Amino acid sequence: MCGFSVIFAYAPDAPPVAAGEVRRINERMRARGPDGEGEWFSNDRRIGFGHRRLAIIDPSETGAQPMQLAGGDGTPRLVITYNGEIYNYQILRDELTAEGRSFASNSDTEVLLHLYDRDGPEMVHKLRGMFALAIWDVEKQGVFLARDPFGIKPLYYATDGKTFRAASQVKALLAGGQIDTSPDPGGHVGFFMFGYVPEPHTLYNGVKALPSGSSLWIDRKGAPAVRTYFDVSAHLAARSAEVSKSDVLEKLHAALSDSVAHHLVSDVPVGVFLSAGLDSATVTGLASEHTNAALQSMTLQFDELAGGNMDEAPLAEEIATLYQTRHQTRTVRGAEFHHDMDHLFVSMDQPSIDGSNTYFVSKEAAAMGLKVALSGLGGDELFGGYPSFQQIPKLAGSLGRIPGLSSAGRAIRYVSAPFLKRITSPKYASLFEYGGSYSGAYLLRRGLYLPWELPDVMDGDMAAAGWRALQPLVRLEGTVDGIADEKARVSALELTWYMRNQLLRDSDWAGMAHSLEIRTPLVDATLFAEIAGLDASKLDMAAAPRLSLPPSVLNRPKTGFYMPVREWLIGEHPDHSGERGYRGWARHVYAQATQAHV
């Protein structure tokens, strides 16, 4: 895990790349790579790479970046800077070695150079892992960038018509001092609607996220060309033929075990986040089958939840005992939360209403001496673990049959909203307005503020401009187009919107705040391709480890990884006590996190 930057002065009249700008960008990403830093510039100063290193595979100097692949005359023909891990790099290395290629390091980075040298941009189809990468192609005088299929690793870019810039974090690009920081209304509206900023938007007009599963090419002609190479919805639309339950379980368990084994590839110890849920328990059980030494596991506990059904610690300790992990339970209290809040907001690359729990469990993992931890993130999205898998099809199926309901629903909302928002969630006022389609029902289920509420929390003109730019209902409906199966439709929505924009992004910044690499074995393109068409449940997933989980875990109602942030916030800010759910926290996050970028 690392952080990197790219500056490419592609226009003839663009100023040469300034070393100072590269170094300022690098410095803002210090937590992403405390083990080393590097930079490279072409002789003509038209291209510059920066890199910060968290050494996981081949921690020696031979694995340092930026890394070059020399041509026959000894001058570089390819240069790479990269963030992530390629779990099948050893298989690819053996394949390339058999073709006569030689390697100077044991790193996955060098494998990427040789793979691009052989396959060009099509290399992405050979990779199993999480990655964001940039490769300077000397012969073609262009930069190739790519991001992993699910967007586990971030990548942002900007261009002003003369110079192209890219980096692992928005705030790093801003630190360079050359970015248009005028607001992107779509990003601001997206945050208040969902509690995260939906890609490709950011808070700034000058910066875009390279979408997950996409690559980008830019040469001296300018005009970045973005291409999608992996489409979650397309995989889910291609449902497989009916398979017997025994065959489903056999295929599922083999695929899960294989993914966990690949995610353990490392030259440093790997730990695991362990809660009382099925996802982390399954990952822990499978990981224990592929390691010789006892795994280190950790969970969080809160005084406010002790002894109740939301307390994860007792069952987590039971699971740890079953799989013989070296387990640590850490109590987080309100005082520590408030003490760390400034650092939390500085670490948050874009505002998010989630991620605090991952921040603190990552803090504990780092205190235990770990650089890498496995997470059970992704199980609910793959195996239908959220209430949305029942609620959305039911709501859209029943209300969608009523003609003209959406238009009538607007009138109903106008009349009922002033009353309803005094006694319950204002979203109930829009039940008939939005509930008749999958896109609208998902907005009701996952939305923070609905469109008509936006002028209450932001400038009205920006709200209108942001709604037009974001087009959330159109994009949500596009996510499910062509998918017939109800479960697969909701899975596409949760994977593409909530998991991609919130859970994975939060895992990145929260882990990197403590120089911790978080790996997600349940979010893996190879696993997804093998099981996307299978009718499998969370209990089917949980049956994968050889040592069966106890009934106390299997039969526990889903609660989520809850952290009493609202209670702590109200303790310090009583004015938020009237806010429902995450709304007060969202306004606080928005104010603090946007200031932290400046």
Q: Which residues, listed in sequence order, are joined to residue 84 by a DSSP beta bridge?
A: 131
Helix/strand/coil percent split, the chain, to 5: 50, 15, 35
Nearest CA-CA partner of 413 in 427, 402, 424, 423: 427
pLDDT at res. 104 = 92
Helix axes 334-347, 583-597, angle to 10 degrees: 50
Please check whether residues 277 and 420 belong to one and the same domain. no
Q: Give per-residue pLDDT as tens, 131-186.
A: 999 999 999 999 999 999 999 999 999 999 999 999 999 999 999 999 999 999 99
Average pLDDT value over all residues in the chain: 92
Helix or strand run (H / E) with residue 407 = helix 405-423
Residues 555, 478 share a domain? no
CATH label of the domain that carries residue 262 = 3.40.50.620
Judge contact between 170 and 202, C-beta under 8 A.
yes
Segments of 202-290 assigned E as strands: 208-209, 214-219, 222-228, 270-273
Could you tell me if 262 and 197 lie in one domain?
no
Q: How far apart are CA 206 and CA 180, in angstroms?
A: 5
| CB atoms closer than 10 angstroms to residue 137 | 18
Q: Which of 488, 523, 548 is the last residue of a domain?
A: 488
Pair (265, 296) in one structural domain: yes
Q: Token pair of 542, please?
A: 């949980």
510 and 456 in one domain?
Answer: no
Query: pLDDT tens-digit profile of 47-99?
Result: 999 999 887 877 778 888 899 999 878 789 999 999 999 999 999 999 999 99
Give the DSSP letter of residue 532. T
Asked if 119 and 171 sit in the same domain, the reply is yes
Regarding whether 224 and 110 lie in a shared domain, the answer is: yes
Q: Kindly indicate the confidence band of residue 493, based on its pLDDT and cuts at 50, 70 and 90.
A: very high
Residue 152 domain-assigned (yes or no): yes
- 315 located within any domain: yes
Please indicate, yes or no, if residue 498 is contained in any of the structural domains.
Answer: no
> Residue type for 507, please?
S
Per the structure, the count of domains in the chain is 3
Q: At residue 549, does pLDDT exceed 80?
A: yes
pTM for this prediction: 0.95
pLDDT digits (tens, 9 = 90+) for 433-447: 899 999 999 999 999
- pLDDT score for 598: 46
User: Is residue 121 in some structural domain?
Assistant: yes
Residue 496 forms part of a structural domain = no
DSSP E strands: which ranges in 33-116?
Answer: 36-41, 47-53, 67-70, 76-86
Residue 493 lies in a domain: no
Q: How many C-beta atoms lie closer than 10 Å to residue 392's C-beta? A: 27
Q: Do residues 109 and 163 both lie within one domain?
A: yes
CATH code (residue 34): 3.60.20.10
22 in any annotated domain? yes
Residue-wise pLDDT for 382-430, tens only, equals: 999 999 999 999 999 999 888 888 888 888 888 887 788 777 888 888 8
Q: What pLDDT, on a 0 to 100 scale, did the predictor assign at position 413?
A: 84
Has residue 578 got a pLDDT over 60?
no
- What pLDDT is recorded for position 579? 66
Is 179 within a domain? yes
Domain boundary among 488, 523, 546: 488
How do beta strands 76-86 and 142-147 pair?
unpaired
What's the Cα-to-Cα distance from 196 to each of 66, 211, 294, 596, rounded to whole Å? 32, 15, 37, 16
pLDDT of 470 strictly over 60: yes
Residue 407 to residue 386: CA distance in whole angstroms: 29
Stretch 314-336: mean pLDDT: 96
Q: What is the pLDDT of residues 225-246, one digit of tens each?
A: 999 999 999 999 987 667 888 9
**206 and 306 assigned to the same domain:** no
- 74 lies in the same domain as 203: yes
The reply to whether 367 and 267 lie within a common domain is yes
Spacing of C-alpha 270 from chain mean position: 20
Give the per-residue pLDDT at 34. 86
Last residue of a domain, one of 196, 230, 264: 230
Structural domain that includes position 446: 388-488
Give the lowest-confidence range in 24-38, 233-247, 292-306.
233-247
Q: Please give the average per-residue pLDDT across 198-204, as a whole number.
A: 97
> 427 and 549 in one domain?
no
Sign for the CA dihedral angle at 185, 189, 192, 198 comes to negative
**Secondary structure letter of residue 336 according to DSSP:** H
Q: Are 267 and 108 in contact (CB under 8 A)?
A: no
Query: What's the confidence (pLDDT) of residue 416?
Result: 84
